[in-house]
Amino acid sequence: MLLTIDVGNSRIKVAVFEHNKQLDFFIFETKEALKKFENIFKKYSNIEKITLSSVGKLEENVLNYIKNSFPTEIISHKSAFPFINLYSTPETLGIDRMVLAAGATLMYPNQNRLIIDAGTCITYDFVNSKNEYLGGAISPGIKIRYKSLNDYTSKLPLLELDETNYLIGDSTKNAIHSGVVNGVIFEIEGFISQYSLKNQDLTIILTGGDAIFLAKRLKSTIFANSNFLLESLNLLSLYTHQK
């Protein structure tokens, strides 16, 4: 039994796997981490291994508690990955992006893959059919776009995501919603279109906290999975064990 942990910028996601089958899933704020892990470890006392990736901050006492409870592998740039990393600055490539690229490589063999992670930032990562990671793009996520409009203007309000489904905003509030949501959709569709023109047999994976919201609005054929990083950690652990 494997426990996978994804420490993000704002929340922690945890999943329990038995081989490729997900048995359970948890999501919580970083400040709740210690108590939540205590409860999870009591429920699943037969965990054989923990695989963890982090782009956020995990308090040292929480990390020590995890490491002292079960054998723990923390994914780093030195970990084994199933692709050739051709990024010109590999040491700056986010661990989350590397894990997602690994998951796409293992789950969709012999294909060109574009992984779009719609979270705090929106990241685009491309792995070709030769299992070469070439890079991608990073842009502000939905929440950052709303916040920046409020931070860098004197009169625009701070709004939160809603079920916007219109192009023309008939008020300042609706204009902001239209600009943010449609701007993200047009951006993603544009990236997909350009990658598709240059790469045949392109598999597109959409993940992250805003994946389900965006998937309903995108015209392109995609695989939407908001927890693809946790599944990728499981696949990466199995891959490492088999090497």
**Residue 63 corresponds to which tokens in the numbers above?**
């990390």
**Burial class of 158 by CB neighbour count within 10 A (0 to 12, 13 to 18, 19+):** exposed
Instruction: Considering the candidates 6, 24, 96, 125, report the single residue annotated as catalytic.
Output: 96
Cα distance between residue 110 and residue 130, in whole Å: 7
Beta bridge partners of 2: 17, 49
The answer to whether 48 and 69 are in contact (CB under 8 A) is no
- What DSSP designation does 158 have? P
- Looking at residue 78, the DSSP 8-state letter turns out to be T
Rounded Cα–Cα distance for residues 118 and 212 (Å): 10
Terminal-residue alpha carbon distance, the chain: 19
Q: Strand pairing partners for 13? A: 6, 27
Report CA 138 to chain centroid distance, whole Å. 12
DSSP bridge partners of 223: 205
Active-site annotation holds for 96: yes
CA–CA dist 188, 226 (Å, integer): 16
Distance in angstroms (rounded) separating the CA atoms of residues 8 and 30: 9
Mind telling me the catalytic residues?
A: 96
